[in-house]
Structure 1
């Protein structure tokens, strides 16, 4: 067995640095938090190459006295606490005294600082843990750190960094969190000489949200304020219309520190449970203030996790407070009449040119196949044949569907077909026979009669299945049809979202999207997959991008299959919507051409059946 030896100081410092400094954003976090603790009202962060080659952080805080400069770079040297008792009443962001020594162990550090009392500033260099001499220079009040060549002599750590753009995205996200946590401080972020973020520091949290997320989010905010004997909560929550596909837009700040908390996420999501679709998460920026003894912040080196002394009391207070705030607001997306009117019919929009052409083909093919008398009573039965036509009929939804009425999306589920429709021995023979269309009930289900059986077809599930198979065939053959849109949809993305879009651009292109840059982190969607009628195209795209950005998700191929099912659900004709006999016939012809016509992509049945025998038993004709 090798002999046990005590490690030298340089090795110890590098190991300690690995616990605190994981990537460039870790450096920015530690130094900006020091600036905030120093009382700065303005903080400027400038980076190059994702912060790997240069990080410059300038503040107008109190500065560091000349006698304290070298001490500041010693491990566990801090001005924030003096004893273990102080850990229970920490009011500063930093307190361990490890940041500067850890940064100096893995980079080349230059410090320029001046206190208001001093006549001149101090410049100090430290590299590889070896300190240089103090030099007096002219400088404004405050502190400037220049961090060069991060991890330059620890290649094992450097090779695990991501691309410069991705690392810059992490820093951008960090600065957004810092700006949201301290609206009274003006923050500026410059990346490769390009300004990316600037806040006014006027103390308005709503202004900071506007500067980060824009007008579309700010106009849908609800202010929240709550206080009891345990804690105080204030901030903003978003209306359901600005929900997203992941938790990246849930922002929690406890005692002005950004944290991730399963407890707080559960509180907010439970309060929204009746207002959001499955797999959607609310937008929120909430500031909570606790007494120090109610929290344990010394849980994780990044201080991004903490423990609550009384978690159940926190849950019991937050959930009703947010529910009450939501109930006080009008959450209807589109205006509706104040007084209901009788016999309200859904207005039909004028078909688009390509839809008009498809409807023309449908009508022509029906006239060729069967003599069609348009003046039949609405309830009269019609006979249709499932013989394959020369030209496939395409069922088109001519009534614009409201996105908010789309049924809740479900995960893929496996169910036995026998639970819904008995398997037919010879499906091809079945398609050759005539089936009587009896009519539509509840504006959702179509009644069909075939060989002493009553079949009930769900028009939404059936149309969703047809569209899913169409989309999947186009995806597999790389033959998606792109529908150009006018005006185009303009997206203002965060740096992280823009980076994710670039990574997955091929996936979007394969789905039929046509996307091009539109300046900085903005992109313009000029084309979308065809057949997406009545869908909020922007919301659908953002939702797909959110899910692609999630780490640990399924493979891109699986995710795209899931989103194709989602697109099919949203684009399909809805329940409670009248369609004509011609459209019902076209839909039947299409679904019966599928290999598996029984279920929609989410597992719901497209057809159910009741035999004449079962009907006779129900009516006691058979004992």
Structure 2
């Protein structure tokens, strides 16, 4: 066994740095927080190569006095707290005195700073945590500029795990956006490779800042303030109405006493309010600003201060849910009216779909009526007609292991009628087949589209008037990474400026150019592209709730479904049809053979 020995200071510093700094976005987070703690009203961030070769953060805050520079990069040196008692009443972002020390240990750092009281500025240079020089510098006004270059230059094992420039920039955006949303009265600038990503001048309100930053319609962004029982602090919610839907939870932000955090229970309760008014598989936008007495919050439980503990959570959850429900029910945008529908199953050149009188209502772009979602069986269970039935009596999802293939069985069905404008009823031998027409349409479109893509013969529908779509920078990065592959799949797009993409054509069997582009781009993961994920998202964006089909169209749809490779489920895994045997109905009516 090797001899036990104390590690050197250099090794200890590199190990400690790994707990605080794991990628360029960690550096940006720490430097932004320092700038905000210094009272800056303008924060500029300049990056090169996603922050891998250069991160520069400049602010107009209070600056750093000459006598403090000597201790600035010393471990556990901080201006934020003085004693253990201060940990019970933290109001600043930083307090441990580890961030700058850790950053300097794995990079080259240059600090240029001047205080309002100082006659001159100062410049400090370090490499690998070692101070190389400190000297007077000509600096025009108060503030600080910290440049971090060649991150992980002395830890090659860590450096090789850095991702592509676009992925690292996307991670920086996830750090940058919460602070930009938290401080609408301050000016934030983000530049990457000499290209301005954000230039956010002060906004008059949280809602204005959220709408401008995330490219949302201002009318779809709601604001609500509330107080917690027995407490004087005022809390605030900035919410998206039900028409703002994302396939990921990437625009959900939680702040506790101004600090961006992750909190599973808070996030659950906010999402749960939306659950019954939004379709399955999409997520809302929200920003929660929770103000609590500092002694009720423990922020010292995570190396990067991402998580907090909160005292008295139950009463907070109740007040929060009430505030969100109040905002959505009293000021939410009405559900969107669908203007067109698409059913490509009838004879070409003519549509015999019977329109439903009045307005057809859906729950936002590409959405599915939540009433359909609530009727779906829980995995492992089957829906039943009566509460007293046993599991053996329940309707069944047909099994693909039967002697006759499912596709052959579907070809022999006799159409009986349609129920509730969404379920087709077919007779087959000793049973009744109930088909969800919308799930069936999704399956047919999905396989038809994948077949066209595999042959390189995707039918393209050129738009008479190109659809202009504004994308936030994160989505724009994902569009840049996958737009060539999207073009091969029939979604023809072009960049017009820093925030606008023109949709010029879409796959011929699909619809809704703006909803389609937003859903696909938001689903992206950097440079990775999943063709089947695109098809699933595209097909969902094409399905409308409430379309009435004629008997001929229902039969034609069933014939198309029978030709599918996997007719039993929609692309999202829901059943397309269930089977109710005659024996099951006989038992319900107490009939015997």
TM > 0.5 fold call: yes
Which residue of the partner structure matches residue 391 of structure 2? none
* Contact 1:414–1:603 (CA under 8 A) maintained in structure 2: no
Which residue of the partner structure matches residue 242 of structure 1? 244
- Per-residue CA shift, 1:7-50, capped at 9, x if unaligned? 22222222222221212222222122111111222221112222
Query: Which shows bigger deviation, 239-248 or 397-406?
Result: 397-406
Count of aligned pairs between the two proteins = 567
* Contact 1:77–1:98 (CA under 8 A) maintained in structure 2: yes
2:529 pairs with 1:539: no
Give the 3 Å change call, closer, same or farther, for CA 615–313 of structure 1 in structure 2.
closer
* Contact 2:335–2:362 (CA under 8 A) maintained in structure 1: no
Give the 3 Å change call, closer, same or farther, for CA 517–414 of structure 1 in structure 2.
farther
Alignment partners' CA distance in 1, 2:137 and 2:543: 70
Alignment partners' CA distance in 2, 1:556 and 1:3: 50
- Per-residue CA shift, 1:206-237, capped at 9, x if unaligned? 232133123x3322011110012345311311
2:150 pairs with 1:149: yes
SS in 1 for 2:449: helix
- Per-residue CA shift, 1:90-114, capped at 9, x if unaligned? 1111111112222221222222211
Alignment of 1:78-477 (within 5 A): 78-139=78-139, 140-202=141-203, 204-214=205-215, 216-228=216-228, 229-230=230-231, 231-334=233-336, 358-360=348-350, 403-404=362-363, 406-408=368-370, 419=396, 439-446=417-424, 458-477=436-455
- Per-residue CA shift, 1:283-328, capped at 9, x if unaligned? 1122111111101001112112111122222212211221122121
Give the 3 Å change call, closer, same or farther, for CA 398–567 of structure 1 in structure 2.
farther
SS in 1 for 2:468: strand
Alignment partners' CA distance in 2, 1:162 and 1:227: 43
Alignment partners' CA distance in 1, 2:89 and 2:37: 15
Structure 2 residues without counterparts, runs of 5 or longer: 383-393
* Contact 2:336–2:361 (CA under 8 A) maintained in structure 1: no
Which residue of the partner structure matches residue 474 of structure 2? 496
Alignment partners' CA distance in 1, 2:285 and 2:544: 29
**How far does residue 532 in structure 1 lie from its aligned partner after superposition?**
2.1
**How far does residue 618 in structure 1 lie from its aligned partner after superposition?**
8.5
- Per-residue CA shift, 1:418-440, capped at 9, x if unaligned? 8256968598998898x765555
Alignment partners' CA distance in 2, 1:92 and 1:15: 26
Alignment partners' CA distance in 2, 1:167 and 1:593: 45
Give the 3 Å change call, closer, same or farther, for CA 238–621 of structure 1 in structure 2.
closer
The correspondence for 1:487, drawn from 465, 484, 487, is 465
SS in 2 for 1:47: strand
Give the 3 Å change call, closer, same or farther, for CA 271–135 of structure 1 in structure 2.
same
SS in 1 for 2:147: strand
* Contact 1:217–1:242 (CA under 8 A) maintained in structure 2: no
Over alpha carbons, which structure has the higher Rg?
1
Which residue of the partner structure matches residue 386 of structure 2? none
Alignment partners' CA distance in 1, 2:463 and 2:163: 36
Give the 3 Å change call, closer, same or farther, for CA 518–75 of structure 1 in structure 2.
same
Give the 3 Å change call, closer, same or farther, for CA 474–517 of structure 1 in structure 2.
same
- Per-residue CA shift, 1:353-400, capped at 9, x if unaligned? x9998135x9xxxxxxxxxxxxxxxxxxxxxxxxxxxxxxxx989889
- Per-residue CA shift, 1:230-270, capped at 9, x if unaligned? 45311311101002111111111111111121121112112
Give the 3 Å change call, closer, same or farther, for CA 588–154 of structure 1 in structure 2.
closer
Alignment partners' CA distance in 2, 1:430 and 1:65: 82
**How far does residue 622 in structure 1 lie from its aligned partner after superposition?**
7.7
**How far does residue 415 in structure 1 lie from its aligned partner after superposition?**
8.9
* Contact 1:198–1:211 (CA under 8 A) maintained in structure 2: no
Alignment partners' CA distance in 1, 2:494 and 2:79: 50
Give the 3 Å change call, closer, same or farther, for CA 29–116 of structure 1 in structure 2.
same
Alignment partners' CA distance in 2, 1:23 and 1:619: 67
SS in 2 for 1:45: strand
Give the 3 Å change call, closer, same or farther, for CA 462–432 of structure 1 in structure 2.
closer
Which residue of the partner structure matches residue 583 of structure 1? 553
**How far does residue 331 in structure 1 lie from its aligned partner after superposition?**
3.8
* Contact 2:353–2:548 (CA under 8 A) maintained in structure 1: no
Which residue of the partner structure matches residue 542 of structure 2? 571
TM-score by length of structure 1 reads 0.80
Which residue of the partner structure matches residue 389 of structure 1? none
Which residue of the partner structure matches residue 59 of structure 1? 59
Structure 1 residues without counterparts, runs of 5 or longer: 336-345, 363-394
**How far does residue 587 in structure 1 lie from its aligned partner after superposition?**
2.8
Which residue of the partner structure matches residue 604 of structure 1? 575
Alignment partners' CA distance in 1, 2:535 and 2:317: 37
- Per-residue CA shift, 1:515-550, capped at 9, x if unaligned? 3333335433322222225xx442343333333339
Which residue of the partner structure matches residue 387 of structure 1? none
